[in-house]
Chains A and B, each alone.
Chain A
Amino acid sequence: MLRADNVSVRFGGVQAVEQLSLDCPPGRITGLIGPNGAGKTTLFNVLTGLQRPTAGRVVLDDHDVTRLSAQRRARAGLARTFQRLEVFGSLTVRENVLLAAELQPKLRGAAAAALADELVHRVGLEAVSDSPAGVLPTGLSRLLELARALATSPTTLLLDEPGSGLDETETRSLGDLLLSLAGAGTAVLLVEHDVELVMRVCEHVYVLDFGQLLCQGTPSEVQADEAVQTAYLGAELSSTGARS
């Protein structure tokens, strides 16, 4: 289980995240929503080791990983995708995924290749498998990042706006994919602006505003929270059904 424990991040005079705590248990899709600049991506960077918190701890499977590098956290089962894409543009789509698979200590040669091919197929990118990742449109690049993250066989998966750039059908398929991953025991933390997707797949939602936790609960509880409706969701939520 991934846990943020009273995490704070300060950039000069700006408090980007303030004493934030959240749990991301196995088998659950946890939503993290909030307006732009709320501190979601900063929190992701803290959780994955790309940003050192000013205060607080990050705990992964009962181990304090606050001082561990991003690499070591990844090896401990933490994988992520990025809001601003970080695909390996000079490698082909297949090579992107294969590289991540090959880094698994017990997965070499043909087994890594088989996993890479399977994941490329799974996210629906086999048609562009041999194309350089640098020429993919944004939506497909996000799917590639998802496949690459899955190739590390993560126990915890952090997804930063994976639905951005996808059309309605693709978003629905993405939601199904996430539900199947959670069903198999993966802990998923989802940052997403597509409220419909969040309400559909998440069991628990945290709402951030100005780096602080505004509210948390089930999608229906969050939906009912007046502060959330005022600060962020507004009328959009009221027209969206809770997770069925």
Chain B
Amino acid sequence: MSTFLALAVTGLVTGCLYALTASGLVLTYTTSGIFNFAHGALGMLGAFTYWQLTDWGMPPLVAMLLIVLVLAPLAGAVIEKALVRRLGAASLEVTLTVTVGLLLLLLGIANTLWDTSTPRRVQPFFAGEQVTVGGVVLTGHQLVIVGTAAVIPFLLWAFLHVSKVGVAMRAVVDDRELAALAGASPARIGQLGWGLGAALAGLAGVLLASQVTLNTTTLTLLVINGYAAAVMGRLSSLPLTFVGGLLLGLLQSLAVGYVTVSWLSQLQTVIPMLFLFVALLVAPPTRLHVGSLAPLRAPRVAAARRTALWAAVFVGVLALLAVALPAARVSHATHAMGIAVVMLSLVPLVGYGGMVSLCQLTFAGIGAVALAKVGPGWGIVAAAAVPAAVGVLIALPTLRLRGLYLALATLAFGYAMDDAFFLNGSVMTDSLGLPVPRPLGLSDDRAYLVVCGVVFAAAAVGVLALRRSTWGRRLVALGDSPAGCATIGMGIRTTKLAVFALSAGLAGLGGALLGGQQGTVGAADFDLLLSLTVLLLAVVWGVRTVSGVLIAAFALELTPLLQGHLGPVNDAVPLLVGLGAIGLGKSQNGIMGACFDRVGGLRRLPLVPAPRTPTEGDPAREEVLTSAQG
């Protein structure tokens, strides 16, 4: 019994932190309509700023108040004003690109400000103090966490129900347009929501700082656990979110305490994902939203013959490069081709279908592991089939819900897989990484580069052929207007499921090529932050075009080379990618799309005559009326 109590108390303390973080997320989402994927990064900045201020000698309480009441809200308000407000009613793809870009940018800034190799310790509040309740020992810091989490909901409730601004905030949450008509300013309310959300992120960061290793990446991604609580609150209910956070912490603690089976040793990291998936399964279906269309103009798709010609030219050029390049460059080029195939998998999913996956490299990793386990023969089939099947399982619970939930599910899956799969000894049998054979047993590096190029070219021709097909039209229509699709009788869920499976399978194939190029793969090759980087670069260069993702893959390969020229900047990749995503995220077709627009010129629409008035005996009229009646 005492073990149970001890575990329950520890779990509830963790749960309080989840609840605080998730509440901040929900607050920003409901007041602005934009999910802040950088929420964890704000918490991380809060923790590091707290360390910095106390290291400079500021009293801990003053440092905490300065962060929670001044710095964090200010940061939230500035972000809302500078980035969020200009997004307006942008698509999920755009809002996600900008907020994930912000996450990487803040991470890059933190890594530059605070050298990651320096170990840092933060003193907990009331260090050394503890009380015993019912045989369970609670430290002073744990009591501060519980006390804060107990007070915050009441403060929030009072603010939202008693103050005039709080009531206006609730009105904006209920109906933005109506609230505006009644005199509230949704923009100001959104700014306040982001300020409050950032304050809660900062508070969680400060309280967490002494409880975990002070690492920028760990702290940034830790908030993903809070997503499960936010989803339980359906991204709108603060009380349910709080309950979700507490429940999650409790479950995690009890599982760690009671499940002692060795192969389930990573259960703690998987539980938030399982919790999230259960919350998704029980969530009521989302109504198809009507009237939120932004005018789109996707780049034109080249004709089949032209595509085939460009593919042949590409393979020819790559074959010449394979002969001419020095060995080290051949290795880089092959790696870029593997990444290009992974990025190509985003074209049908994100570019055409408007759905978002944040764990594409996780699927790539599963593909590489499948190839390693099955062997060079059938391994290449398994490398595509296994991730496709896993993709179906991930997408299934989210089919009834809006796109954001799929993005959250993929993020939670990628985060859980980082520890539970890629660091699991029974999967990655060798501590140096898992040896991966080359498909078809190719040993020559130059020949392998050409084969990778052929695979990319063939896949690209296939993706473009798909876009020109009936199914491609369905996919694009789904991305443009799900409500429009439903009202012409199109099956939305099957289309979503099929494209997600296709995309995961293609990413798996890319992962197999990457594994073959490297010879061995490890957890670092497929980590979640790299998945985010891959997605953002693809979007920035043009995720609706094959040329966009090809250039993005080479850009990813080249960016680390810039590191040496950037002096004091410690972590150039997230910094550059984050800046690019924030700057270009709103241009939906990316850099290549903009180039195609320039090249194609802005054609004027021809003059359009009025609808034809059918006359008796008009064969067109008879034909249409007959067919319209079936």
Binding site for B on A (CB under 8 A): 12, 45, 48-52, 69-72, 74-75, 77, 79-80, 82-91, 95-96, 98-100, 102-104, 106-107, 115, 118-119, 121-125, 127-128, 131-132, 134-137, 140, 143, 148-155, 167, 169-170, 172-174, 176-177, 180-181, 184-186
Q: Are A45 and B290 in contact (CB under 8 A)?
A: yes
- Segment touching A, from B259-267, B292-300, B516-524, B533-541: B292-300
Most interface-central of B491, B605, B624 (chain A CB within 10 A)? B624
Shortest CB-to-CB span from B588 to chain A, Å, is 9
B611 contacts the other chain (Cβ, under 8 Å)? yes
Given contacts A50-B287, A118-B623, A153-B629, contact A71 B490 (CB under 8 A): yes
Per-residue CB contact flags for chain B residues 143-175 toward chain A (1 = under 8 Å, else 0) read 000000000000000000000000000000010
> CB-CB < 8 A to B614: which residues of A?
122, 176-177, 180
Q: Are B486 and A70 in contact (CB under 8 A)?
A: yes
Q: Are B293 and A153 in contact (CB under 8 A)?
A: no
Binding site for A on B (CB under 8 A): 174, 287-288, 290-291, 293-298, 470, 473-474, 476-477, 479-481, 483-484, 486-492, 603, 605-614, 620-621, 623-625, 627-630
**Contact among B608, B613, B629 with A186 in the assembled complex (CB-CB below 8 Å):** B629
**Contact among A86, A103, A124, A154 with B490 in the assembled complex (CB-CB below 8 Å):** A103
Q: Are B612 and A69 in contact (CB under 8 A)?
A: no
> CB-CB < 8 A to A88: which residues of B?
476-477, 480-481, 484
Given contacts A135-B295, A136-B605, contact A87 B484 (CB under 8 A): yes
Q: Are B297 and A74 in contact (CB under 8 A)?
A: no
Shortest CB-to-CB span from A201 to chain B, Å, is 13
Given contacts A99-B474, A103-B490, A154-B628, contact A82 B484 (CB under 8 A): yes
> CB-CB < 8 A to A91: which residues of B?
473, 476-477, 480
**Contact among A51, A90, A95, A124 with B608 in the assembled complex (CB-CB below 8 Å):** A124
29 A-B contacts (beta carbon < 8 Å): A50-B288, A74-B486, A74-B488, A75-B489, A80-B487, A82-B291, A84-B290, A86-B481, A89-B296, A89-B297, A89-B298, A89-B481, A90-B297, A91-B476, A96-B477, A99-B488, A118-B627, A121-B612, A124-B610, A124-B611, A132-B298, A150-B624, A152-B488, A154-B628, A170-B610, A172-B610, A173-B613, A174-B611, A177-B614
**Contact among A45, A102, A119 with B473 in the assembled complex (CB-CB below 8 Å):** A102
> CB-CB < 8 A to A150: which residues of B?
624, 628
Q: Give the complex CA separation of A85 and B479 in angstroms.
A: 15
> CB-CB < 8 A to A127: which residues of B?
606-609
User: Who on chain A is nearest to B352 by CB?
Assistant: A90
> CB-CB < 8 A to B612: which residues of A?
121-124, 173, 177
Q: Give the complex CA separation of A115 and B624 in angstroms.
A: 7
Most interface-central of A79, A87, A136, A186 (chain B CB within 10 A)? A87
> CB-CB < 8 A to B473: which residues of A?
91, 95, 98-99, 102
> CB-CB < 8 A to B603: which residues of A?
131
Q: Are B293 and A84 in contact (CB under 8 A)?
A: yes
Q: Give the complex CA separation of A111 and B583 in angstroms.
A: 46
Q: Give the complex CA separation of A49 and B486 in angstroms.
A: 9
Closest 7 CB pairs of A and B: A84-B291, A74-B489, A89-B296, A90-B298, A70-B486, A86-B484, A173-B611
Q: Give the complex CA separation of A79 and B625 in angstroms.
A: 15
Q: Are A89 and B293 in contact (CB under 8 A)?
A: yes
> CB-CB < 8 A to B174: which residues of A?
12
User: Who on chain B is nearest to A97 by CB?
Assistant: B488
Q: Are A128 and B606 in contact (CB under 8 A)?
A: yes
Q: Are B486 and A50 in contact (CB under 8 A)?
A: yes
Number of A-B contacts (CB under 8 A): 184
> CB-CB < 8 A to B613: which residues of A?
173, 176-177
Q: Are A153 and B630 in contact (CB under 8 A)?
A: yes
User: Who on chain A is nearest to B607 by CB?
Assistant: A127
Q: Give the complex CA separation of A152 and B487 in angstroms.
A: 10
Most interface-central of A48, A122, A134 (chain B CB within 10 A)? A122
Shortest CB-to-CB span from A33 to chain B, Å, is 20
Q: Give the complex CA separation of A90 and B474 in angstroms.
A: 11
Shortest CB-to-CB span from A23 to chain B, Å, is 20
> CB-CB < 8 A to B476: which residues of A?
88, 90-91
Q: A84-B290, A180-B621 are in contact. List 8 more A-B contacts (CB 8 A).
A: A50-B483, A69-B486, A86-B293, A89-B297, A122-B620, A136-B605, A153-B628, A167-B610
Q: Are B628 and A184 in contact (CB under 8 A)?
A: yes
Q: Are B611 and A123 in contact (CB under 8 A)?
A: yes
Most interface-central of B291, B470, B479, B627 (chain A CB within 10 A)? B627
> CB-CB < 8 A to B470: which residues of A?
99, 102
Q: Are B487 and A74 in contact (CB under 8 A)?
A: yes
> CB-CB < 8 A to A75: which residues of B?
489
Q: Are B487 and A118 in contact (CB under 8 A)?
A: no
**Contact among A49, A90, A151, A152 with B480 in the assembled complex (CB-CB below 8 Å):** A90
Given contacts A84-B293, A143-B611, contact A51 B486 (CB under 8 A): no
User: Who on chain A is nearest to B470 by CB?
Assistant: A102
Q: Give the complex CA separation of A174 and B614 in angstroms.
A: 11
Q: Give the complex CA separation of A100 and B295 in angstroms.
A: 20
Shortest CB-to-CB span from B584 to chain A, Å, is 19
> CB-CB < 8 A to B629: which residues of A?
153, 155, 184-186
Given contacts A90-B298, A100-B488, A132-B298, contact A118 B624 (CB under 8 A): yes
> CB-CB < 8 A to B489: which residues of A?
71-72, 74-75, 100, 103, 152
Q: Give the complex CA separation of A134 and B484 in angstroms.
A: 14
Q: Are A70 and B288 in contact (CB under 8 A)?
A: yes
Shortest CB-to-CB span from B43 to chain A, Å, is 33
Q: Give the complex CA separation of A72 and B607 in angstroms.
A: 37
Q: Give the complex CA separation of A100 and B487 in angstroms.
A: 10
> CB-CB < 8 A to B486: which residues of A?
49-50, 69-71, 74
> CB-CB < 8 A to B490: which residues of A?
71, 99, 103
**Contact among A90, A115, A125 with B479 in the assembled complex (CB-CB below 8 Å):** A90
> CB-CB < 8 A to A69: which residues of B?
486
Shortest CB-to-CB span from B597 to chain A, Å, is 11
Q: Give the complex CA separation of A137 and B387 in angstroms.
A: 43
> CB-CB < 8 A to B605: which residues of A?
128, 131, 135-137
Shortest CB-to-CB span from A197 to chain B, Å, is 13
Q: Give the complex CA separation of A64 and B612 in angstroms.
A: 36
Q: Are B611 and A170 in contact (CB under 8 A)?
A: yes
Given contacts A71-B489, A95-B473, A135-B297, contact A124 B483 (CB under 8 A): no
> CB-CB < 8 A to A185: which residues of B?
629
Q: Are A89 and B480 in contact (CB under 8 A)?
A: yes
Q: Give the complex CA separation of A98 and B477 in angstroms.
A: 12
> CB-CB < 8 A to A128: which residues of B?
605-606, 608
Q: Give the complex CA separation of A85 and B605 in angstroms.
A: 19
Shortest CB-to-CB span from B496 to chain A, Å, is 13
User: Who on chain A is nearest to B480 by CB?
Assistant: A88
User: Who on chain B is nearest to A108 by CB?
Assistant: B470
Shortest CB-to-CB span from A204 to chain B, Å, is 21
